[in-house]
Each structure stands twice: as structure tokens, then as C-alpha cells.
Structure 1
Amino acid sequence: MTRPLALQFRRLLAGCGGSAAVEFALILPFMTLLCFAFVGAGRLFWNYHIAVSAVRDAARYAARLPMTCGGLTTAGDAAKVQNLARTGTSDGSGSPLIANWTSNASIVVTVSCVSNAGAAYSGRYEDMTGVPIVQVSASPPYIDSFGPLTGVSLTGFTVSAQQAWTE
């Protein structure tokens, strides 16, 4: 015996079997994209933290080198500071701290003087009219492997640190 067509249609509409699978299929592309975005953001923050730490260490190292308000007194000292920021070793023998950071050209070492008028800096700087401050800035490359998937393409970032002369 056949059921009336209206009853079969009503039964078909009332069935919920498989609705969870359909909902999951609709949400899956967005969840995958979100997962790739989280991994990409995590890698970016990790590389940023490595660069900040490296530049801070290089500024601390540079602050212990002989310098004047015009710059570092030894010609090779700037290259040592750049190598330290990029590889973690002053002679540049180590591997880059961030992948594809193969050149020291993106690392800038500058020395400037801060006025010590009114003895703003005390202690060892008390009799000095200008206190040398070294600043190390770097722009390491960043290659986001998931950039095309997430729609965000970042090719680099800039970090800097400064330190007063401590020789």
C-alpha cells in the first residue's frame, strides 16, 4: 500500500538524520582558515620575540664597547654588533636566528648623545655633558607560509632597542 504523497513529503522534511554532518561541512572551511591564521600569528609572534631579544642583547653588547657621541670608536665594532643581532655570535659564525635573515644590511647601529644638563644622569655620567646612547634597529625578513590562505601577507617587521654607554 502506498502512502499519500503529502505524508511522504512531511516525513522527509521532519527527518534530522545527517544535519550535523551538513553543518560540519559548512563550518569546516572557516575553522580550517582560522586554524591556519592562528598558526601564522603564532609564528609571527615567535619570530618577533626572537628579533626583540636579539636586538636587545646586541644593544647591551654595544653599550660596553668604546664609543663617543659620534659613534663606535673601532671600525669593526658595528659589524660585531650586527652579527650578534643576526646570529647570536659576534663573529657571525652561527646560523641566523630567524630563517632567511642572511644579511646584516637590515641592522642599523647608531650612537647619539643625550644631554646631561642638570645632572639628569647621575653616577658615572655625573661629570659628562652628553651621555652616549647606542640604538640597534633591525628589520628581519618574515615569510608567512600561510599568508595566501589567510589573506595577510607580511614580509618583515622592525624592532629596536637602545642602551646607555656602560663601559
Structure 2
Amino acid sequence: MKRLRKHIARLKGCDAGGPVVEFAIVLPLILLFIAIIIEGGRITWIYQSAAAGVRDASRMVARIAPIDLCPAGSVAGYDAMVTDIVENRLNGPSVIPGGATLLDVIPVLHTRTGAYRIDPTCVVEVRAQVQIDYIFGGVFGWFGNPLGPVVTEVADQSRIFGV
């Protein structure tokens, strides 16, 4: 019994394990901050890739569509090409892991009146819906509910110059 008291007294006075306990308390917060930084950068990268793809697609349609498309035309024939452009840009080579799904790409033709060379003039708008999955959604679940995917829409317009 005396020996046990001696060991307990010795352990009470020893604080060698303090840094390990402090690290164990702070570790979840450090992991959360790292996950937030990685997810924020990844989401920004995906959004910018989608925006670049939509911009490229609207410019491509603006260059190859006929200039007289405006009175009663449609850009529905460019659906496959526009989808391919946005998909290739979104899923292209990247250092950052994927996790984006292209849900829908829609090209729409708008008629604008004004002081243009041809009045009314046509403007093509390309809209893309992108679903972004969180790769660290489970880590965020440690601090509440896990995060599900987010759906965002990206759009761009270009005036049709024609061929």
C-alpha cells in the first residue's frame, strides 16, 4: 500500500505527458482548418474551370453560328458541342482531385436591339449546372452534420459575329 502511494505521488508530480494531451485536444481543430483550406481551394478551382469552359463554349458558338440566326433561329443544334467543351474544361488534367459532376449545359439564344451593325443582334448564353462534392465532408461531420454536395450554376454570354 505504501508503495502504491509512492507511485501515485510520483505520477501526480510528473507533467511529462502534458504536451501530448494538449496536442490531442488541438488536433481536431488543426484537421478542420486544413480541410477547410483544401476544400476552399478545390471548390474555387472547380468553379473557375467551369466558368472558363462556359466562356469558351459561348465564344465558340458566337464564332461559328451564322450571323442571320437571330430572327427565328435557335442554338439547340450546338448542345453536344457546348457540353463537350464545358466537360473537357471541367474534367481536364489537374493537380487538384476532382469531385465535380456536370449536370446540365444549356445554350440559349437572346435577341438584343440597339446600335449594332446588324439590328437586332443575337447573343448566345451558355448556362451550366455543376455539382461539387466535398471530399472532406466526413471530416466536417465531426463538428456537426456532414456536408452534402453543392449545386451551382455558371453562365456567360457572347454576341454572335457569324461566319
TM-score (norm 2): 0.72
Corresponding residue number in structure 2 for 1:50 = 49
| Structure with the larger helix share | 2
The 2-side partners of 1:83 and 1:70 are apart by 25
Q: What are the residue-to-residue correspondences of 1:15-54 with 2, within 5 Å?
A: 16-54=15-53
Identity %: 24
Contiguous gaps of at least 5 residues in structure 2: 93-97, 141-145
Deviations along 1:77-126, one digit per CA (max 9) or x if unpaired, are 232222222225xxxxxx94465646xx600100101121xx2xxxxx23
Cα 1:96/1:20, change in 2 over 3 Å? closer
Cα 1:36/1:69, change in 2 over 3 Å? farther
Report the Cα offset of residue 16 of structure 1. 4.5
Report the Cα offset of residue 61 of structure 1. 0.3
Contiguous gaps of at least 5 residues in structure 1: 89-94, 120-124
| Structure with the larger strand share | 2
Cα 1:68/1:78, change in 2 over 3 Å? farther
**Which of 111, 114, 128 lines up with 1:113 in the alignment?**
111
Corresponding residue number in structure 1 for 2:95 = none
TM-score (norm 1): 0.70
Deviations along 1:107-157, one digit per CA (max 9) or x if unpaired, are 0100101121xx2xxxxx23x332211100101222222113213323321
Provide the alpha-carbon RMSD of the alignment. Answer: 3.0
Q: Max radius of gyration: which structure?
A: 1
Report the Cα offset of residue 166 of structure 1. 1.7
Report the Cα offset of residue 161 of structure 1. 0.6
Corresponding residue number in structure 2 for 1:138 = 128
